[in-house]
Amino acid sequence: MTHDKQKLALVTGAAGVLGRATTSGLIADGYRVILVDLDSKRLEALARQIGTGAYPLVLDVADPQKVAEACATIRQEHGQVSVLVNNAGILSNNKAAETADDEWRHILAVNLDGTFYLCREWLPGMQADRWGRIINVCSLAMKTGGITAGTAYTASKGAMASLTFSLAREAASFGVTVNGIAPAYIKTPMVTEQLTEEQRRQLLDQIPVGRFCEAEEVANVVRFLVSPLSGFITGEIIDINGGLHMD
Ligand SMILES: NC(=O)c1ccc[n+]([C@@H]2O[C@H](COP(=O)([O-])OP(=O)(O)OC[C@H]3O[C@@H](n4cnc5c(N)ncnc54)[C@H](O)[C@@H]3O)[C@@H](O)[C@H]2O)c1
């Protein structure tokens, strides 16, 4: 099957700020989108707002059995997902000494395990179709050690990058690209509510472009990575941080 005939995407964390922007971008590019999130109310509202082409699905990506069941249903009702955006994520700003066992497990389970479960579900079909795109939403924290982000979050995002490299190598010869995005400080509750005013002020002083990132700017990178323009890019983690970190 060709790219144009398939046009089915799945976005996790779709009801969140970045998820909504990404979903809208993919819909604008002609995709049907399965919207996955835990938050049924926001998910339904988003699906209503988008209308045609949006299919809400309440699912905990950290639950391997539920993921397997949901993916079987999707396959039956909609077919193979050719674009997978692993965007669901949770943040903790606690550093190591303050990180409880269950907090560590929960953050790794959602950010890393959830990403893995969904990749494992959809990658074989993409390989069989000889076309697919996986985009994993990592974070600048994986490179900096977490300026404000905590230990579990930072470790989960670093592991997502390694998972991206591993899958990219495995999938490349099948026409499937696997990339990541490492954003920093998008205008979302993670920044507007989970940071103090003092942290926000200090960060703005350090970001050369002098502002926080718009969700649409990250969504545009997803759209590029999905498009035929980026077919030779795989195993890459694209920075989007306003110059806060240059390498
Ligand atoms: N906001 C930032 O500045 C920033 C920076 C770097 C990376 N990121 C990453 O971007 C992604 C999106 O972040 P956001 O800022 O839009 O956050 P957000 O909180 O607005 O959205 C995250 C969404 O994920 C959903 N979710 C949480 N746990 C889930 C689970 N177990 N199963 C399914 N859905 C679940 C939430 O309900 C929420 O709708 C995350 O992976 C985050 O780590 C964000």
Distances (CA, A) of 87 to 95, 118, 196, 204: 23, 11, 24, 24
Which phi and psi angles does 164 have, rounded to 5°?
-60, -45
Q: Ligand 1 centre and the CA of 59: distance in Å?
A: 14
Q: Ligand 1 centre and the CA of 24: distance in Å?
A: 16
Mean pLDDT, range 9-16, rounded to an integer: 98
Asked if residue 81 is part of any domain, the answer here is yes
Q: Beta strand pairing status for 83-86 and 54-58? A: unpaired
pLDDT above 70: residue 4: no
pLDDT tens digits, one per residue of 212-221: 999 999 999 9
Asked if residue 245 is part of any domain, the answer here is no
For residue 129 and ligand 1, the question of a CB distance below 6 A is answered with: no
Owning domain of residue 198: 3-233
pLDDT above 60: residue 194: yes
Mean pLDDT, range 155-173, rounded to an integer: 98
pLDDT above 50: residue 6: no
Chain-wide mean pLDDT for the chain? 95
The H or E element that residue 33 is part of is strand 32-37
Of 141, 135, 147, 121, residue with least CA distance to 204: 147
Other C-beta atoms closer than 10 Å to the C-beta of 142 total 22
84 DSSP β-pair partners: 10, 134
Asked if residue 88 is part of any domain, the answer here is yes
Domain count, the chain: 1
Residue 150's CATH number: 3.40.50.720
pTM of structure: 0.97
Pocket-testing residue among 36, 38, 41, 187, ligand 1, by greatest number of atoms within 8 A of Cβ: 38
Mean pLDDT, range 60-84, rounded to an integer: 98
Asked if residue 41 is part of any domain, the answer here is yes
pLDDT tens digits, one per residue of 87-104: 999 999 999 999 999 999
For residue 14 and ligand 1, the question of a CB distance below 6 A is answered with: no
Token pair 């989007």: residue: 240
